[in-house]
Amino acid sequence: MKLYNTLTKKKEEFIPLEEGKVKMYVCGPTVYNYIHIGNARPMIVFDTVRRYMEYKGYDVNYVSNFTDVDDKIIKKAIEEGTSAEEVSQRFIAECKKDMSDMNVKPATTHPLATQEIDGMIEMIAKLIEKGYAYPATDGTVYFRTRKFKDYGKLSHKNIDDLQAGHRDIKVTGELKEDALDFVLWKPKKDGEPYWESPWCDGRPGWHIECSVMSKKYLGDEIDIHAGGEDLVFPHHENEIAQSEAANGVEFSKYWLHNAFLNIDNKKMSKSAGNFFTVREIGEKYDLQVLRFFMLSAHYRSPLNFSADLMEAAKNGLERIVTAAENIRHLQKAAATVEMTDAEAALLEESKAYTAKFEAAMDDDFNTADAISAVFELVKFMNTNASAENTSAYLDGLYANMKTLCDVLGIVIEKEEEILDAEIESLIEERQAARKEKNFARADEIRDLLLEKGIILKDTREGVQWKRA
């Protein structure tokens, strides 16, 4: 398996630090609003990387944080007349709902920055002790960027060539020893959340949060650190400087970054009026379509979002789902006898598409080519499956397809949502069964509804129900 490493600017064979295990950290969103489709790309891409690693037999410890203290969160809280904690908790819940609808698996751990402050204070104190950081007279703590000799190794920038104006990195001020030094801890402002520290009452800088959460949940050295390419500099560059200065070992072996998402060939921005949240897209499309669209291009290629391309993704996904439905339909009436030699030969032939799929994913997670292999399998299934086939053969075909779709996070069999009218009708049938003392049927209906996530409660006033 080869990965393109931003650090070395080349594809490298993946060799984990510990055999059979993968430690992976992915920078999560700042939770002050609904996530937008730009946030969705790394979520979907790196969830798929994780799924493929697990498919290959690795035990993946996948950590993705929520930044729940930030200027934007505080601004939103002030606008709403509420607390930063209330804003962040609300949008963490909304984010998790969107992630679930996109079939993004929950992380092994979803740490919150506000719950890891003690670890941040501890790491900052260590950096001061080692001479890599210093407190200014106002209580701000800065990192001595020039003292870290490898600064710029990820972004491939020369520290002497860095120009003014980089976010969070070239803010001039008399309190700094050097204009390039960046903030590790900053003093509180009126009305802002704050924590006590040896330097001042305040809160952490953005970069230190990920260094500390990665260290706590994965260790000093990790296999993969990932995120959007906008995070390469300064965020990931600063993470490397802090972590390696504090821990004395290489922070991450491999750095993966997804390219930008454009809208109708333009950069997404609120001012341009082309800004879409995942929730808004979910009103027009099943979010499985958004996932399929995101995986239709290689993660390191810029991706253009448009109505036409979403329609194409919808049609492509329907081809796959329809092929799966067709096999399920054939399975119902198929003979449960031993597979024929001809069927066994066809099933063996179908494994070529699994091999193509794996070759694509082994080549820096080329999901575009992996999807092409799935389409080839769909064509093969449509051509080589009929009512004459045995259930063993059809089961084998279906299992192959489901395995590949599971790696991509594409759902090919959905539980049909049970409607309120159907529930009421089944409850009436259950009541009638009970009157007739057909308790077996009554229990069967209760169990059926429970499987569909409907809980019944028998009361004096009649039967009440609720969704689980």
pLDDT of the residue at 417? 58
Given a cut of 70, is residue 164 above it in pLDDT?
Answer: no
Q: How many CA atoms lie within 13 A of 139 on its CB side?
A: 16
Given a cut of 60, is residue 87 above it in pLDDT?
Answer: yes
pLDDT of the residue at 78? 93
Given a cut of 50, is residue 172 above it in pLDDT?
Answer: no
What is the pLDDT of the chain when averaged over all its residues?
93
Given a cut of 80, is residue 263 above it in pLDDT?
Answer: yes
66's CB contacts (< 8 A; 6+ apart) are: 28, 29, 31, 88, 92, 95, 110, 111, 112, 113
pLDDT of the residue at 193? 95
Helices (H), 133-222: 206-218
Q: Under a CB-based contact definition with an 8 Å cutoff, are residues 120 and 209 in contact?
A: yes
Q: Residues 44-62: pLDDT tens digits?
A: 999 999 999 999 999 999 9
Q: Under a CB-based contact definition with an 8 Å cutoff, are residues 234 and 83 in contact?
A: no
The shares of helix, strand and coil residues in the chain, as percent rounded to the nearest 5, are 50, 15, 35
Given a cut of 60, is residue 443 above it in pLDDT?
Answer: yes
Query: From residue 381, how far is each of 330, 389, 397 by CA, in Å?
Result: 12, 12, 7
Q: Under a CB-based contact definition with an 8 Å cutoff, are residues 372 and 314 in contact?
A: no
Q: Which stretch of 196-205, 261-270, 376-385, 392-401 has the lowest confidence by average pLDDT?
A: 261-270
Q: Residues 348-404: pLDDT tens digits?
A: 999 999 999 999 999 999 999 999 999 999 999 999 999 999 999 999 999 999 999
pTM of the model: 0.87
Residue whose structure tokens are 């009361």: 459
Query: From residue 295, how far is each of 88, 367, 401, 436, 463 by CA, in Å?
Result: 29, 6, 17, 54, 46
Given a cut of 60, is residue 324 above it in pLDDT?
Answer: yes
Given a cut of 90, is residue 462 above it in pLDDT?
Answer: no
